[in-house]
Amino acid sequence: MTGASPAYGAIEDRSPRGIAGAFSRAIRSGALAPGDRLPTVRDVAAELGVSPATVSAAWQALRRTGLVVSRGRAGTFVRDSPTTWLTPRVRDLVGVGDTSVRFDLSRGTPDPALLPSLGPALGRVSARAATLAYQEEPVLPRLRDVLATTWPNPDDTITVVDGATDGIARVMEHVVSLGDRVVLESPTFPPFFDLVESLGAEAVPVELDAEGIRVESLRRALETRPVAVVLQPRAHNPTGVSLTPSRASALARVLARRRDDAPWVVEDDHSGAISTSPDVSLSTLLPGRVVHVRSFSKSHGPDLRIAALGGPSGLIDAIVQRRMLGPAWTSRMVQSILLDLLTEAQSMDEVAEARRQYFGRQRGLVDALASYGVRTTPPDGINLWLPV
């Protein structure tokens, strides 16, 4: 490292919090500069007379604040360009804020060339904002009708929110309290772990295989009495796995046995329109306990910031009511654009072509990897999980 660490003798509090605080002050004062490498965990532990686990916990705390970034075996470094507005695990993705990275494979974003053209839809949107009263219904009735035609549970109440993560966060804020446990797939979309931690809850990881969450892993996780299970039924981020109908039924049977303390199931269907897998949901198998979130970011455009949220009326109505004290509704102009994209032939064809293109690219990549002796199962959507 090129900077100067804090004087070890000056660190009186040798708990993870105390050690993290000392190094945080060194970074903020400039004693440790952007790009400096922190001492190794073992070196700091030896100097302070604490266990390596204590120092590791301090380093984790520094990573959560965005001050440092881990680069695997290369070590832990002071972040070059702090991005404190990002959540901790997003900041830790390799390419975030690093201009030296030629290809950033960590993002999981759609190919802009495969998104439907917004020009025709924009041309058909009213030239004036249509909402004249703040208390109007938050969802365009025509959009709700279109969403309902492909919704997995016809009994669900459907609303619209500002993207999948917004919808999942709003559900979790209603059902998760301090100290609760939440089941998350492992691996999964990194911000889900940040969301659980921000609510003061504990994440309980469950394992995946080629058909989705492993039944036995979920059964063990349910012994911790979680209040929610978050899963991705199609084109899982980051593995590309899709839940099979038989596995969904098996998971529902396990969950149904928890009659007195059944957790909520939150389904993140973020890539449905570009997925080639069947639309599988637990909502009809566990009536009254499933919230389904369907995003259009991957298929129609991330900047539209729109997703549908459906579930039992009691919970959905409570979410809508709370939302009225904040953003109140998702712009009806944006809703009109999505409605156009979902119903006009040209945009429907463009999304269908994107689905075919992603399918072909996945198979092409799997075949190319196989030519180098790397065997992997063809995934769905825009993600592929490759152990390295």
Query: Do 249 and 214 form a contact (C-beta atoms < 8 A)?
Result: no
Reported confidence tier of residue 137, pLDDT bands at 50, 70, 90? confident
Counts for the chain of helices (H) and strands (E), in that order: 14, 10
Q: Please state, in angstroms and rounded to a whole number, the distance separating the CA atoms of residues 327 and 265.
A: 25
Q: Report the amino acid identity of residue 321.
A: Q
Q: Are residues 160 and 221 in the same domain?
A: yes
Q: Are residues 326 and 290 in the same domain?
A: yes
Looking at per-residue pLDDT, the higher value among 86 and 236 belongs to 236
Residue reference for tokens 């609760």: 180
Task: Evaluate if residue 27 carries a pLDDT over 70.
Answer: yes
Helix H or strand E segment including 264: strand 264-269
Q: Is 362 contained in some domain?
A: no
Average pLDDT over residues 302-331: 95
- Residue 96 maps to a domain: no
Indicate if 18 and 161 belong to the same structural domain: no
**What CATH code is carried by the domain that includes residue 226?**
3.40.640.10
Which of 16-25, 181-190, 228-237 has the least mean pLDDT? 16-25
Q: Note whether 77 and 118 are same-domain residues.
A: no
Same domain? For 260 and 180 the reply is: yes
pLDDT at 289 over 70: yes
Residues 6+ apart with CB under 8 A from 113: none
In a domain, 314, yes or no: yes
pLDDT at 94 > cutoff 70: no
| One-letter identity of residue 365 | L
Confidence of residue 131 (pLDDT cuts 50, 70, 90): low
Look at the pTM and tell me if it is higher than 0.85.
no
Q: Of 343, 358, 377, which closes a domain?
A: 343
Shared domain for 150 and 34, answered yes or no, is: no
Count of residues making up the chain: 388
What does the pLDDT average to over 26-41?
88
Domain shared by 307 and 158, yes or no = yes
pLDDT at 100 over 60: no
Torsion of CA 369, 374, 376, 379, to 10 degrees: -20
Residue 333 lies in a domain: yes
**Of 161, 163, 282, 160, the residue nearest 229 (C-alpha):** 282
Number of domains in the chain: 2
Strands (E), 179-289: 181-186, 202-209, 212-213, 228-231, 264-269
Checking DSSP bridges between strand 264-269 and strand 228-231, what pairing results, if any? parallel
What does the pLDDT read at residue 97? 52
> What does the pLDDT read at residue 4?
67
* Domain identity same for 83 and 155: no
Tell me, rounded to whole angstroms, the distance of Cα 97 from its chain centroid: 19
**Does pLDDT of 254 surpass 90?**
yes
Q: Most distant CA pair in the chain: distance in Å?
A: 71
Mark whether 78 and 167 lie in a shared domain. no
pLDDT-based confidence at 80, cuts 50/70/90?
confident
pLDDT higher than 90, residue 153: yes
Asked, for residue 3, whether it belongs to a domain, the answer is: no
Task: Dump pLDDT digits (tens) for 270-281.
Answer: 999 999 999 999
pLDDT of residue 295: 97
Average pLDDT taken over every residue of the chain: 90
pLDDT-based confidence at residue 102 (cuts at 50, 70, 90)? low
Contact 170, 219 (CB under 8 A): no
Q: Region 153-167: what's the mean pLDDT?
A: 97
- Asked, for residue 360, whether it belongs to a domain, the answer is no
Tell me the average pLDDT across 1-7. Answer: 62
Number of Cβ within 10 Å of residue 115's Cβ equals: 21
Average pLDDT of the segment spanning 246-269: 95
User: Percentage of the chain with pLDDT > 90?
Assistant: 74
Spatial separation of the C-alpha atoms in residues 118 and 96, rounded to whole Å: 28
Q: Residue 78 belongs to a domain with what CATH number?
A: 1.10.10.10
From 6-15, 144-153, 269-278, 319-328, the region with the lowest mean pLDDT = 6-15
For residue 106, the model assigns a pLDDT of 72
Find out whether 378 and 386 touch, Cβ atoms under 8 Å.
Answer: no
pLDDT at 1 over 50: no
Contact yes or no for 182/202 (Cβ under 8 A): yes
Clarify whether residues 23 and 64 are in a common domain: yes
Residue 141 covered by a domain: yes
Both 151 and 243 in one domain: the answer is yes
Residue 309 lies in a domain: yes
User: Between β-strands 212-213 and 181-186, what pairing exists: parallel, antiparallel or unpaired?
Assistant: unpaired
Kindly state whether residues 72 and 125 are assigned to the same domain: no
List of residues 6+ apart from 108 with CB closer than 8 A? 189, 237, 238, 382, 383
Q: Which domain holds residue 323?
A: 114-343
* Mean pLDDT to the nearest integer, 149-172: 97
pLDDT band, very low/low/confident/very high, at 128 (cuts 50, 70, 90): low
Residue after which a domain boundary falls, among 28, 57, 91 = 91
Q: Is the dihedral of CA 185, 20, 24, 73 positive or negative?
A: negative
